[in-house]
Structure 1
Amino acid sequence: MDYAGLDYRNIRFPVDRPLSEAERAVRYQQKKASNAPPMDFLSVIEFNSNYIDLVDRWYSIKGFNTWFGMFVSVFGMAGAGVIIWAFFWAPVTEQREALWFMMIVLLPLALGLIWGGWWLIRTECGRWTHYPMRLNRKTRQAYFFRQDGSVLTVPWDSLFLTLGEEKSPLSGTTYDLRAHVLDADGETVRESFSLGYPSPLGNAESIDKFWAFLQPYMEAEDGVERTWRYLKDDAGYLVPVDGRKEGWRWSIVRSFMLGAHWPYLQLVFAPFLGLNAIGRMFAMWTSKVPKWPEEVERENPVEVDDPYVLTWRDNESIGWWELYWPLICTVIGVGGFLGVIVWIVSDLWR
């Protein structure tokens, strides 16, 4: 999947470089609104008159690296086990050259798979459940929870916002609303993060829609009411990670959300989506909940009488097609996948 910018073992957006002409050509100006229909792409955690909290670009796809990494590691361990058993304990045959080839060539490959799978797992597990971002409309400050637990605070108006583009072998070309923090020269990129990410299935027009959702909140005179009305009437759900880990129900809902309008496709892709839901649950269970520092909370109070406060607690109840059908698909998909694996293994050992 698209894990571009994930700062684990130095996989991150390129920094300490000049802005490119391509980035300048697709810049989003803070004062310039979009004519596209607004869409939040299920990215809002909390909303009020003072600030809006958003999830990071990796939140929507969380779980993939976990289950896939486990599969790769188990495959590698099984291969390594068979090779070691064959070399030391199998009946003596005349194929010692083949056994030495397995030990010298294939065993390192198996160990490499184990390491690679563990590396994938560590990109999601034992870290943070998500990396929130906060935009304060009144103080015009942007806060970004870094992957090492520190917080970047930068003026909203100083951010260089552009259309980010990445290429992934599995998801193809993906897009995000990229925020660059520039040096004093206004040319050199010192830090970058994704302010908005539609999904691996999004396109460049999706970023226009996200900008049409976000920009009015920060810039329009009636932005608070407009954004509140959209979240109440059109958005559907706010993400339930405000000071907590998401529950197993939401892990299933979020994993199957890509096919929310096509229940039959959810069943077709049930093995993939179901495994993603299981991996997501494990990743959330092993990770810590991010918490804004006290100084950030002091700078972002929620007014007692604010009529525009929204959190996940204001969500409508999750219905049959959002939860229970994906739950059935998860059981069918994961059960079918495990059944195929057991059948293959048993056939090999006959």
Structure 2
Amino acid sequence: MESGFFYPFDTPDQITAAERRQDGLVRDLKQLGGVEVDDRASLIHFNSTCLDMIDRSFTIRGGMSNILALVCTLFGLGGGGFALRMVMPDLLAGKIESPWIVWIMICVLFTVVTCVLFIAKRTIGQEFFTYTHFPIRFNRKTRMIHVFRHKGSGGVLSVPWDQAYFHIGKGTLARSLLDLRGHVMDGDKVIDTFAVGNFFSTREPIQQIWKFIVVYMEQGPQALPKDIHIVKSPNVSLKNQFICATSYCNIFLPIPLIKWVFAALITGMRWVVMKSCREPVWPSEIVAESAIAPDDIYHWGEPEFSGGPVRDARGEWQAIQARNRRLNK
């Protein structure tokens, strides 16, 4: 679940040509004929020039890991402070004569502080004061893929569409969670790795996202189904965080009472995390090559919150209703 964010991707150093042929996702639309086209709520921007997908980690931002890290930090600091308060008066008064007790106490406190600092660094460094999301851009006119990581030098990974190797990746710890995984290759050597869109527990949604991207890149926006629209929103509003938190809890916490308690906690944590972060900004050269024509009929509307209404040339609710009918068949 946290692969590529808290934990590195489980990526081999090399992937041979035979392995790529066996496990790679094909780009031949004839071979993808039985797969439905769908972005699976991974799309956040769309027009005739490029599309942006959400990053794999967006779903878990401010989730259970943050809450557990906060609880551990508070307990660690509270426990360490309580121990000092109980022991220090006797230690200073010379009532503790055995040096072993002092050394044991120092070792315990050092361990607690180290663990607290590790947890705080892991949470603050990865979650807070970074970016609200880390989009992946597919530019069909330049045939380039851009992976946003940070604003500084080398903060965007760019690879030609025709040279990237894609397959269905597995989580580092939760092996049952799958994602659309991309690799930058130098021969058989893996240079870099990234994931595109949401993660799932089955292969079908990943194949649908892949076909959506392939159709867009190879045939253009006009070849996509007319009832697809943008569902996901990276907006930092409290309402959007509640929707994202509820969706997260629907997957992992099916028991109603427990689900709503954790949904409230995760909503608050996500909102605090997102408020501390800034919007990702693409470098000027990528912005220039991704310019949207004023009359672009394929510049799709973006909802203010995930699952909300979209307003574009195709209508407001019609696309939503048509797509829901198709998915519920």
Q: Fold-level match, TM-score > 0.5?
A: yes
Q: Is the 8 A contact 1:41 1:198 kept in 2?
A: no
One of 172, 180, 185 as aligned partner of 1:167: 172
| Cα distance, 1:62–1:24 mapped onto 2, change above 3 Å | farther
Tell me the residue number matched to 1:113: 115
The one-letter amino acid of 1:151's match is V
Tell me the residue number matched to 1:293: 283
| Cα distance, 1:311–1:97 mapped onto 2, change above 3 Å | farther
Q: Is the 8 A contact 2:10 2:172 kept in 1?
A: no
Deviation at 1:230, TM superposition (A): 3.8
1:84 equivalent to 2:69? Answer: no
| Cα distance, 1:17–1:72 mapped onto 2, change above 3 Å | same
Cα separation, 2, equivalents of 1:148 and 1:294: 11
- In structure 2, list runs of 5 or more residues that go unmatched: 311-329
- Report the TM-score when normalising by structure 1: 0.75
Q: Structure 1 segments of 4 or more deviating over 4 A?
A: 20-24, 90-99, 259-264
SS in structure 1 at match of 2:177? strand
One of 144, 157, 160 as aligned partner of 1:155: 160
Q: Is the 8 A contact 1:75 1:113 kept in 2?
A: no
One of 185, 189, 197 as aligned partner of 1:182: 185
Tell me the residue number matched to 1:215: 214
Cα separation, 1, equivalents of 2:248 and 2:12: 35
1:134 equivalent to 2:130? Answer: no
Tell me the residue number matched to 2:324: none
The one-letter amino acid of 2:188's match is E
Aligned Cα RMSD in Å?
A: 3.1
Cα separation, 2, equivalents of 1:313 and 1:100: 60
The one-letter amino acid of 1:195's match is V
| Cα distance, 1:175–1:187 mapped onto 2, change above 3 Å | same
Cα separation, 1, equivalents of 2:20 and 2:79: 46
| Cα distance, 1:117–1:238 mapped onto 2, change above 3 Å | same
Q: Is the 8 A contact 1:68 1:117 kept in 2?
A: no
Cα separation, 2, equivalents of 1:258 and 1:41: 14
Deviation at 1:29, TM superposition (A): 2.3
| Cα distance, 1:157–1:264 mapped onto 2, change above 3 Å | closer
Deviation at 1:306, TM superposition (A): 1.0
The one-letter amino acid of 1:140's match is R
Cα separation, 1, equivalents of 2:309 and 2:252: 20
Tell me the residue number matched to 1:62: 61
Deviations 1:154-177 (A, max 9, x none): 211111111111232xx4522111
Cα separation, 1, equivalents of 2:309 and 2:97: 64
| Cα distance, 1:266–1:129 mapped onto 2, change above 3 Å | farther
- Report the TM-score when normalising by structure 2: 0.79
SS in structure 1 at match of 2:295? coil
| Cα distance, 1:125–1:3 mapped onto 2, change above 3 Å | same
Tell me the residue number matched to 2:75: 75
The one-letter amino acid of 2:299's match is V
Deviation at 1:305, TM superposition (A): 0.8
| Cα distance, 1:117–1:261 mapped onto 2, change above 3 Å | closer
Cα separation, 2, equivalents of 1:206 and 1:293: 31
Cα separation, 2, equivalents of 1:27 and 1:70: 40
One of 222, 226, 249 as aligned partner of 1:225: 222
Q: Is the 8 A contact 1:86 1:99 kept in 2?
A: no
One of 235, 238, 242 as aligned partner of 1:252: 242
Give me the identity figure in percent. Answer: 24
Cα separation, 1, equivalents of 2:61 and 2:251: 21
Q: Is the 8 A contact 2:39 2:209 kept in 1?
A: yes
One of 18, 25, 30 as aligned partner of 1:28: 25
Cα separation, 2, equivalents of 1:97 and 1:172: 48
Deviations 1:214-252 (A, max 9, x none): 2211123xx4134362423xx6x232x3xxx52111111
Q: Is the 8 A contact 1:31 1:219 kept in 2?
A: no
Cα separation, 2, equivalents of 1:62 and 1:280: 6
Deviation at 1:209, TM superposition (A): 2.3
